[in-house]
Amino acid sequence: MSKILLAHGSGGKKSHQLITEVILPHFDNPILNRLDDQGIFTLGKSKVAMSTDSYVVDPPFFAGGDIGKLAVHGTVNDLAVSGARPLYLSVGLILEEGFEICELEKILRSMQEAAQEAEVSIVTGDTKVVPRGSADKIFINTAGIGLIEGEAITGSGARPGDLILINGTIGDHGMAVMAAREKFDVSNVFSDSAPLHGLIREVMKVSEVHAMRDPTRGGVATTLKEIAIQSKTSLLIEEEKIPLHPAVGALCDLLGFDPLFVANEGKCLFFVHPEGAERALAAMRLHPYGKNAAIIGQVEEGPAGQVALKTAIGGKRLLDMLVGQQLPRIC
């Protein structure tokens, strides 16, 4: 690896390679080495989760959301999947010379509305302006901290016998951004960008959750592969049980995309003890962000790190992390 490629930002196999082979060796420590979406540590008697993420989505406005809403939701969700209660965010803005103030204010209003819904406060920040052509309109970084009041949940916690649940349809965000970028005339494809802390809280009240992760860049398939590797388990997923909006499926078919690898921004994969799976499913379906929830598979004793998809025609297909760059600048 001698140069950075777009694929290194895909959230898939190239991203994993960049992190583990180039970045991680310089910052080696037990907290970071877990490779979860947040770091978990103690401050005094408190257990704290901290996460950070940067957003470069193109275009900054799309059906169902915008870069500001996305930046708040993304960091809130990365905290929530550890079992944390998100509390505070920082916001860093990189603005291109010439960016319209009215568009900036629209994004800032969206961020504040998203923060209010997510029950977090934006408490610090930074702003930089770069010459025209040195950035693309606006880039945003958000970092967040949250408090873990029970046991921390990590990607290594999935256990054989667990059932795998998702709170709704897949691929919505990636296809909404793609439609806006290419100016496709579609009226029923919307980003699923949403804060999931409340839904996660309801699921944890009624079931024993062993692992959680939000399948953003790289999609559901890549996230499942990450969990299988971290937990040293084998996963079996049933294609027919995965929720997919017909319009998203049609757009994926038209463009040659596999929805399993398309980004989501309001979905969470839950790995739940089987005794509580139906209660978890019912709790999700009662929540506004979980109406199309489904049980999509299970954790097995098979080869560690393997993810198998039982196809609609009864065959099996092995899933890997996203290879290459399917949709650049999707978040």
Residue closest to 155 by CA, chosen among 93, 229, 97: 229
Alpha-carbon gap, residue 157 to 143, rounded angstroms: 24
pLDDT classification of 10: cutoffs 50, 70, 90: confident
pLDDT tens track for 207-248: 999 999 999 999 999 999 999 999 999 999 999 999 999 999
pLDDT at 276: 97
Q: Is the pLDDT of residue 325 over 80?
A: no
Residues 6+ apart with CB under 8 A from 330: 57, 173, 174, 177, 178, 217, 263
Domains located in the chain, CATH noted: 6-148 (3.30.1330.10), 163-319 (3.90.650.10)
pLDDT at 1: 82
pLDDT tens track for 304-318: 999 999 998 889 999
> Cis peptide leading into 59, omega within 30 of 0?
yes
User: Which whole number is the average pLDDT over 82-107?
Assistant: 98
Enter the pTM of the model.
0.96
pLDDT tens track for 166-215: 999 999 999 999 999 999 989 899 999 999 999 999 999 999 999 999 99
Alpha-carbon gap, residue 294 to 298, rounded angstroms: 12
Q: Is the pLDDT of residue 257 over 80?
A: yes
pLDDT tens track for 42-54: 999 999 999 999 9
pLDDT at 324: 79
pLDDT tens track for 18-40: 999 999 999 999 999 999 999 99
pLDDT at 231: 97
Average pLDDT, rounded, for the chain: 96
Residue 306: CB atoms within 10 A of its CB come to 17
pLDDT at 323: 86
